[in-house]
């Protein structure tokens, strides 16, 4: 009989407390699936006295995550504290140095230090599992790294942030304000400790570079990602999008070409009736396009205690069962930094909303600035108010180079015809 596997959990918040509770309450079923006994042996968090709804009697408490990572009291280190730096980084490094496999849900840590940590794990022949870090409960890392391993993947993209998708969907269905819906998402345990990571797009960027690393076999490249959030999306944009036959979603898109990889995170117009447009609430969805499989779509809950614990426990079960796969699906020594295609080279159509004072000649100025940059207009819509009042004017462009669009928008602002900062949302026609 294989010896029990002693689990140490660092971080007992939304995710960690639920993993701990399930290890205790579901122990019989988990032991059968693991093929050995799993023991919740060690725990650490900031405040020992906090009631977490988990029975910690018989579990060794550590004041310091690094001390737990090194302790012989545990065999597997489960990092659920979050944050790109210490103590998460130091503790994961300490666990790997001490010969212990690691499970983490921490996309910020891996987006910044993934290649180094993968090399440290590989040098010791250890697992560094991070299924929960990307798209919560969807087993997308396993699907891409193992299930699609025979494919050359050209593009991976999707809705990777449950908080943003929840906010956009709820704003649309209820007409409620952005801040009000964000507070609700935080209460439901979807949002990061710092919610600006969610709404500003950085959480999606963290996940996208991990997904791209596994899909394309490169080191996670966070610094090359173009990132925009959803803060400037208004109810106007949501209504206009519908009128044009689209919904607005925060997407992460990674595309491989001969010149390198393009990675971008921004709100996008997604055509109604396509798989991503129908993904609502806290759900995430990922599309992977491979030469053999074509397009495959994965959908599920992207955040929250249950879905995330599902992924963390699956990673623990993988370790209990053995054997180990390379962290990013290729030997760490082959993980080179990819060449990054600049966002200015991106080709695409876009939705442009200008708030203008309704007076003669304004549309002519905007059209001239677009024409000067060879940006062609596909359609236009204006909701009129009284002459002299500010009014939204919306254009959908044909495909154009991002750099040309940016120059055109700058010229329009400089021409003094807009009353507030223009809103640009890229169209995605997958
Ligand atoms: P959380 O609720 O804020 O919990 C964080 C836990 O870590 C708390 O128990 C906290 O201790 C502990 N902690 C924080 N700093 C610490 C330190 N310096 N030393 C020791 N313990 C420390 O966070 P969460 O939502 O569970 O997220 C945990 C990780 O999972 C993050 O990496 C997050 O990105 C990732 N994740 C979360 C979700 C989700 O839906 N929430 C989904 C996927 C991935 P105290 O309780 O004592 O304050
Ligand atoms: N804050 C993240 C989200 C948690 O909303 O998707 C899951 O990673």
Nearest C-alpha neighbor of 181 from the set 201, 197, 195, 200 = 195
Alpha-carbon torsion angle 190, 193, 198, 199, nearest 10: 110
Pinpoint the residues of the chain covered by CATH 3.30.360.10.
148-301
pLDDT of residue 179 exceeding 60, the answer is: yes
Contact 54 CB / ligand 1 (< 6 Å):
no
The per-residue pLDDT for 188 is: 87
- Around ligand 2, the residues with Cβ closer than 6 Å are 136, 161-163, 190-192, 198, 203, 302-303
Q: Give the whole-angstrom CA distance, residue 406 versus residue 342.
A: 13
What ranges in 133-268 are assigned the alpha helix state H?
140-142, 162-174, 178-187, 196-199, 202-216, 235-244
Alpha-carbon torsion angle 230, 232, 236, 240, nearest 10: -60
Q: What is the pLDDT of residues 4-17, one digit of tens each?
A: 999 999 999 999 99
Q: What is the pLDDT of residues 36-73, one digit of tens each?
A: 999 999 999 999 999 999 999 999 999 999 999 999 99
What would the mean pLDDT of 83-97 be, rounded to a whole number?
98
Q: What is the pLDDT of residues 285-327, one digit of tens each?
A: 999 999 999 999 999 999 999 999 999 999 999 999 887 677 8
Ligand 1 center to residue 40 CA distance, Å? 18
Which one of the ligands is nearest to 62 CA?
Answer: 1
* β-strand pairing of 38-44 with 60-61: parallel
- Beta bridge partners, 397, equal 377
What would the mean pLDDT of 177-189 be, rounded to a whole number?
87
Ligand 1 center to residue 291 CA distance, Å? 38
pLDDT of residue 341 exceeding 80, the answer is: yes
Question: Could you tell which of 10, 12, 15, 198 is best to mutate to test the pocket of ligand 1, judged by most ligand atoms within 8 Å of the CB?
Answer: 15
DSSP string for residues in 309-366: HHHHHHHHHHHHH-----TTSS-GGG-PPPPB--GGG-EE-EEEEEEEE--TTHHHHH
pLDDT of residue 192 exceeding 90, the answer is: no
The dihedral through the CA atoms of 51, 52, 56, 61 has a sign that is: negative
Q: What is the pLDDT of residues 104-115, one digit of tens each?
A: 999 999 999 999
Q: How sure is the predictor about 176, in pLDDT bands with cuts at 50, 70 and 90? A: confident
Nearest C-alpha to atom 38 of ligand 1 is from which residue?
A: 303
Question: Could you tell which of 303, 304, 307, 310 is best to mutate to test the pocket of ligand 2, judged by most ligand atoms within 8 Å of the CB?
Answer: 303
Which one of the ligands is nearest to 191 CA?
Answer: 2
Return the CATH fold of 5-100. Answer: Rossmann fold (3.40.50)
Q: Give the whole-angstrom CA distance, residue 63 versus residue 61.
A: 7
Angle, helix 162-174 to helix 178-187, in steps of 10 degrees: 130
pLDDT of residue 1 exceeding 60, the answer is: no
Q: Give the whole-angstrom CA distance, residue 382 versus residue 360.
A: 13
Note the CATH architecture for domain 347-427.
2-Layer Sandwich (3.30)
Q: How sure is the predictor about 280, in pLDDT bands with cuts at 50, 70 and 90? A: very high
Contact 252 CB / ligand 1 (< 6 Å):
no
| Per-residue tokens: 174 | 């209820």
CA atoms within a 13 Å half-sphere pointing along the CA-CB vector of 35: 7
Ligand 1 center to residue 13 CA distance, Å? 5
Running DSSP on this structure, what letter comes out for residue 195?
A: T
Q: How sure is the predictor about 180, in pLDDT bands with cuts at 50, 70 and 90? A: confident
Mean pLDDT value across the chain: 94
The answer to whether 172 and 240 are in contact (CB under 8 A) is no
Ligand 1 center to residue 108 CA distance, Å? 12
Q: How sure is the predictor about 155, in pLDDT bands with cuts at 50, 70 and 90? A: very high
The per-residue pLDDT for 12 is: 98
**CATH code, residues 148-301:** 3.30.360.10
pLDDT of residue 399 exceeding 80, the answer is: yes
The per-residue pLDDT for 358 is: 79
Contact 14 CB / ligand 1 (< 6 Å):
yes
pLDDT of residue 213 exceeding 80, the answer is: yes
The per-residue pLDDT for 101 is: 97
| Total-model pTM | 0.90
Residues with Cβ within 8 Å of 6's Cβ and at least 6 positions away in sequence, in order, are 39, 41, 42, 73, 74, 75, 76
- Percentage of the chain beyond pLDDT 90 is 82
Contact 50 CB / ligand 1 (< 6 Å):
yes
Least confident of 16-20, 23-27, 270-274, 333-337: 333-337
Angle, helix 305-321 to helix 14-25, in steps of 10 degrees: 60
Q: What is the pLDDT of residues 370-389, one digit of tens each?
A: 999 999 999 999 876 666 67
The per-residue pLDDT for 85 is: 97
Ligand 2 center to residue 162 CA distance, Å? 5
- Percentage of the chain beyond pLDDT 70 is 98
Nearest C-alpha to atom 30 of ligand 1 is from which residue?
A: 105
Q: How far apart are the first and last CA of the chain?
A: 51
Pinpoint the residues of the chain covered by CATH 3.30.70.260.
347-427
Which one of the ligands is nearest to 84 CA?
Answer: 1
Which one of the ligands is nearest to 182 CA?
Answer: 2
Residues with Cβ within 8 Å of 145's Cβ and at least 6 positions away in sequence, in order, are 214, 325, 328, 329
The per-residue pLDDT for 331 is: 79
The per-residue pLDDT for 387 is: 67
Pinpoint the residues of the chain covered by CATH 3.40.50.720.
5-100
Contact 183 CB / ligand 1 (< 6 Å):
no
pLDDT of residue 392 exceeding 70, the answer is: yes
């Amino acid at each position: 009989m294989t010896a029990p596997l002693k689990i140490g959990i660092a971080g007992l918040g939304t995710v960690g407390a639920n993993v701990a509770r399930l290890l205790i309450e579901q122990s019989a079923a988990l032991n059968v699936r693991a093929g050995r006994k799993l023991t919740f042996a060690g725990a650490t968090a900031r405040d020992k006295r906090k009631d977490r709804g988990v029975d910690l009697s018989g579990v060794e408490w550590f004041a310091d995550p690094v001390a737990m990572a090194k302790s012989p009291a545990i065999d597997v280190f489960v990092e659920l504290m979050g944050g790109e730096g210490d103590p998460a980084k130091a503790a994961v490094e300490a666990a790997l140095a001490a010969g212990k496999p690691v499970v983490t849900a921490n996309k910020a840590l891996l987006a910044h230090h993934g290649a180094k940590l993968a090399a440290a794990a590989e040098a010791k022949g250890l697992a560094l599992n991070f299924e929960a870090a990307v798209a919560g409960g969807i087993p997308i890392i396993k699907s891409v790294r193992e299930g699609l391993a025979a494919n050359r993947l050209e593009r991976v993209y999707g809705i990777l942030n449950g908080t943003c998708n929840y906010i956009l969907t709820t704003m649309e269905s209820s007409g409620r304000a952005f801040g009000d819906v964000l507070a609700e998402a935080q209460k439901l345990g979807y949002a990061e400790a710092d919610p600006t990571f969610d709404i500003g797009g950085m959480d999606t960027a963290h996940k996208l570079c991990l997904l791209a690393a596994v899909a394309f076999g490169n080191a996670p490249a966070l610094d090359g990602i173009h990132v925009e959030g959803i803060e400037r999306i208004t109810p106007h944009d949501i209504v206009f999008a519908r009128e044009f036959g689209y919904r607005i979603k925060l997407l992460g898109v990674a595309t491989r070409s001969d010149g390198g990889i393009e990675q971008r995170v921004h709100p996008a117009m997604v055509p109604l009736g396509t798989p991503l447009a129908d993904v609502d609430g806290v759900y995430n969805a990922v599309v992977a396009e491979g030469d053999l499989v074509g397009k495959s779509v994965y959908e599920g809950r992207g955040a929250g205690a249950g879905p995330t614990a599902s992924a963390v426990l699956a990673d623990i079960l993988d370790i209990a069962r053995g054997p180990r796969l390379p962290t990013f699906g290729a030997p760490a020594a082959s993980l080179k930094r990819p060449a990054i295609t600049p966002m200015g080279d991106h080709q695409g159509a876009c939705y442009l909303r200008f708030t203008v004072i309704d007076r003669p000649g304004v549309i002519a100025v905007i059209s001239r600035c677009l024409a000067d940059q060879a940006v062609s207009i596909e359609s236009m819509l204006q909701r009129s108010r009284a002459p002299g009042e500010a009014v939204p004017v919306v254009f959908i462009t044909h495909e154009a180079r991002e750099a040309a669009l940016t120059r055109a928008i700058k010229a329009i602002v400089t021409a003094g015809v807009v009353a507030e900062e223009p809103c640009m949302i890229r169209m995605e026609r997958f």
